[in-house]
Structure 1
Amino acid sequence: MLFRRYFLPTWKRFPLLDRWIFGELIAPLIFAISAFTVVSLSVGVMFDLVRKIVESGLPVLTAVKVLGLRLPSFLVISFPMATLMATLLAYSRLSANSELKALRSVGISTKRMIVPAIILAFFMTGLTFIFNDVIVPRANRSAEFTLQRALGRAISTEKGDDIIYSRFGKITTQDDKDKKKGLSQLFYAREFRRGEMNGVTVLDFSRYGYTQMLTSKKAIWNEKLAKWEFLDGQVLTTTPNGSTTSAEFDKYLYPLSSAPIRISKLPKDANNMTVQEAIQAQKLYAEAGNRKEARRMKVRIQEKFTLPMACLVFGLIGSSLGAKPNSRTSRSQGFGISVVLILVYYVLSFSFSSLGVKGTLLPFVAAWSPVVISMLGGWALLQQANR
């Protein structure tokens, strides 16, 4: 009832030409999403889960649940590829059946014909962004939690493992006058559980020639004093002349920010972060003076937006290629062409991303250059098909 009341009137407002081409696009889009998702899911997750079922006794129902939770992350990968394959197949079939030729004979340009494909590509772009920023991070965390709990490994809601925090700042030289910048502190904790850092080691290089190593079984952040409380540990100091002093302690206050706690709560993989979490991580690295990690996170933040834009890029390229006169592409050929174009695009993206992380290019330029280059290539193909 609601479908007839709200959707049908809106759908009928679209020109008949657009509705017809949309209808031609839906079937190959569903086919392509299914094909790419099944292939990537089988290679990426299914084989590993089967191994855990056999070797570690993972319950089959739990494996199915984990598989379902991991599905969104592979759909995000499939959406751009499916958009390319769907537009290429649909327009190739229409061209092979001389239906596009008939449209040209009545004065409809190729640019007008691909408007439905561009609208569909915009829709897939928005869908990919929502999946990648809202659904995938939460689903991946739930999948990890479910898997680890089923395998009998302790999981806390507030946790982190192998927390590493590097702080870069000014290092005081021997005469206490000249100062230079470099790594001043390196914080490591084996795990973070219920507000406590366990198995903590801190290396302090803030004084030139001196190295201080602080180890403790436990460390707690003191909010009032804005310092770390290290419990049951030892301090070892080496001087420029090579002498060493050590002292044991029950409690030791150390001036360092609470950044290690905030870092421990963030996913290690930027792909599992939301845009907000990635921005938070970038700020933490910037505050610590870790320029390389801050620059890497800037690139990853931009890639949160450029990944969905691949749908628009592939929609333009696929429809332009398929709409060329006398274009004849079968499903197997379309799959092969799609794989080649996708490979080229992602190699280009990876290359520019590496240049951005290295600092050769600005993060914005590094992330968006593949999109701009590919869009220009798609526009050139469209101009050729429109002749």
Structure 2
Amino acid sequence: MEVLIQRTQSYLRRIPLLDRWLLGELIGPLLFAIAMFTVLALTVGVLVELVRQIAEFNLPVLIAIQVLLQRLPSFLVLSFPMATLFATLLAYGRLSTNSELTALRSVGVSATRMIIPALVLALVMSSLTFLFNDVLVPRSNRAAEVTLRRALGKAISTEKGDNIIYPRFGRVEEPDGSSSKGLLQLFYANKFRDGTMTRVTLLDFSRAGFTQMLLAESAEWNKQEAKWEFLNGQILTLTPSGSTTSADFDRYLYPFSAAPIRIAKLPKDANNMTVAEALQAEQLLQSAGDLKGARKLQVRIQEKFTFPMACLVFGLIGSSLGAKPNNRTSRGQGFALSIVMILVYYLLAFSFSALGVKGTLPAVLAAWSPVLISLAGGGFLLRQASQ
């Protein structure tokens, strides 16, 4: 332990005194801002709902505290970018107010050199945000859901899903012999529990002029046959002449992909997926021909990387604004200015995200444009601070 401490001290001594001093000025406001924004987000996002469940459903207080702690990482990652902006704006603003930055300028230290510690800290916060968002948050959110459902007496399963919908697109034959791209089959199941789908409906439009609907109480994937095994159901067929035929069955094998099982195991919300899970879901939708769903996931995958970059964006903007000569930003003004800039940035991000989901912009451009625009704005502010 002593060796580790000595090595750490030796490493810190290698950092220039100016950087150590500026980092020391930044750490305090950063920790304060993380705590403040996290408490605000927790209160609005989960605490009020837990209090309601304690009152209405007799949720044990200890369970509520456990769920609160399990949801904490998801709110921490939301606070990291905002805290970075608030800390850099406040720390550099205070140094400017005390004329300490003016003293640095008088000995030849440029504004760009002054904000390097802020940018390094922002990069560290970006990396931390990505790790939290991709590794910790999906697991902790699922654990919170399991804990809450068990406490409220709802069904829990290691393999579960609700309202599973899986469309398969391809070339549909028309009665005149031509073909066009369209929906071939639509698979729906009310629930998925431990390998069994319940209340299953399958619509089949793959045969020209025929529409077939298969209803079953349950269905399981038969690995040996590589088909779905439907149990206790009925098949309804609408023929080109307009007549309808029906047949009941106890067991029926149907050739269809096992993709609905993989879809059921994935979280419904892309924010609760890891990058690997989101890529898997995107490939499933691509193979099914659901281009709109795949496009939406492509945007969300890119946002897995651009969301942490908000720390770098806010670090550049906050330090550049704070380092402006004769800056007189108080803590209250810094908080208000931080809120305004955060709202502007996320409004920009949501607007571009909608354009990406709609297909107006490619996924990469839709996700990264707000970051690039904001970095350009931060560079302009830095140039002004350098004059």
Is the structural similarity TM-score above 0.5? yes
For residue 240 of structure 1, what is the aligned residue in structure 2? 240
For residue 355 of structure 1, what is the aligned residue in structure 2? 355
For residue 261 of structure 1, what is the aligned residue in structure 2? 261
How far apart in 1 are the matches of 2:4 and 2:334?
34
How far apart in 2 are the matches of 1:111 and 1:3?
33
Letter in 1 for 2:237: T
Give the secondary-structure state (helix, strand or coil) at the position aligned to 1:170.
strand
In the TM superposition, 1:11-50 aligns within 5 A as 11-50=12-51
Q: Deviations over 1:124-183 (max 9, x none)?
A: 0000000000000000000000000000011000111111111111111114x3211111
How far apart in 1 are the matches of 2:94 and 2:376?
25
For residue 280 of structure 2, what is the aligned residue in structure 1? 280
Q: Deviations over 1:26-49 (max 9, x none)?
A: 110011101111101100000000
How far apart in 2 are the matches of 1:74 and 1:241?
59
Q: CA deviation at 1:240?
A: 2.8
For residue 226 of structure 1, what is the aligned residue in structure 2? 226
Task: Kindly tell me the number of residue pairs found equivalent between the two proteins.
Answer: 386
Q: What are the ranges of 5 or more consecutive residues in structure 2 without an aligned counterpart?
A: none
Structure 1 stretch 129-138 or stretch 210-219: which is displaced more? 210-219
How far apart in 1 are the matches of 2:170 and 2:210?
15
For residue 84 of structure 2, what is the aligned residue in structure 1? 83
Give the secondary-structure state (helix, strand or coil) at the position aligned to 2:164.
strand
Give the secondary-structure state (helix, strand or coil) at the position aligned to 2:318.
helix
Letter in 1 for 2:104: L
In the TM superposition, 1:315-334 aligns within 5 A as 315-334=315-334
Please state if 1:298 is matched with 2:306: no
Letter in 2 for 1:14: I
How far apart in 1 are the matches of 2:33 and 2:40?
11
Give the secondary-structure state (helix, strand or coil) at the position aligned to 1:217.
strand
Give the secondary-structure state (helix, strand or coil) at the position aligned to 1:120.
helix
For residue 106 of structure 1, what is the aligned residue in structure 2? 107
How far apart in 1 are the matches of 2:241 and 2:293?
34
How far apart in 1 are the matches of 2:223 and 2:341?
53
Q: Deviations over 1:215-268 (max 9, x none)?
A: 001111111222111111000011233211100011111111000000000000
In the TM superposition, 1:1-387 aligns within 5 A as 1=2, 4-175=5-176, 177-387=177-387
Q: CA deviation at 1:213?
A: 0.7
TM-score if structure 1 supplies the norm length? 0.98
Q: CA deviation at 1:4?
A: 2.4
Letter in 2 for 1:86: A
Q: What are the ranges of 5 or more consecutive residues in structure 1 without an aligned counterpart?
A: none
How far apart in 2 are the matches of 1:193 and 1:2?
53
Give the secondary-structure state (helix, strand or coil) at the position aligned to 1:206.
coil
When the two chains are superposed, the root-mean-square deviation of aligned CA atoms in Å is 0.9
Q: CA deviation at 1:2?
A: 5.1
How far apart in 2 are the matches of 1:354 and 1:189?
29
Structure 1 stretch 330-339 or stretch 56-65: which is displaced more? 330-339
Give the secondary-structure state (helix, strand or coil) at the position aligned to 2:338.
helix
How far apart in 1 are the matches of 2:94 and 2:208?
71
How far apart in 2 are the matches of 1:212 and 1:32?
59
Q: CA deviation at 1:13?
A: 0.7
TM-score if structure 2 supplies the norm length? 0.98
Q: CA deviation at 1:207?
A: 2.4
How far apart in 2 are the matches of 1:169 and 1:40?
44
Percent identical pairs in the alignment equals 67
Give the secondary-structure state (helix, strand or coil) at the position aligned to 1:79.
helix
Letter in 2 for 1:122: L
How far apart in 2 are the matches of 1:210 and 1:82?
59
Letter in 2 for 1:53: I
Give the secondary-structure state (helix, strand or coil) at the position aligned to 1:108.
coil
How far apart in 1 are the matches of 2:209 and 2:370?
46
Letter in 1 for 2:186: L
Letter in 1 for 2:357: V
Structure 1 stretch 237-246 or stretch 227-236: which is displaced more? 237-246
Q: List 4+ stretches of structure 1 deviating above 6 A.
A: none
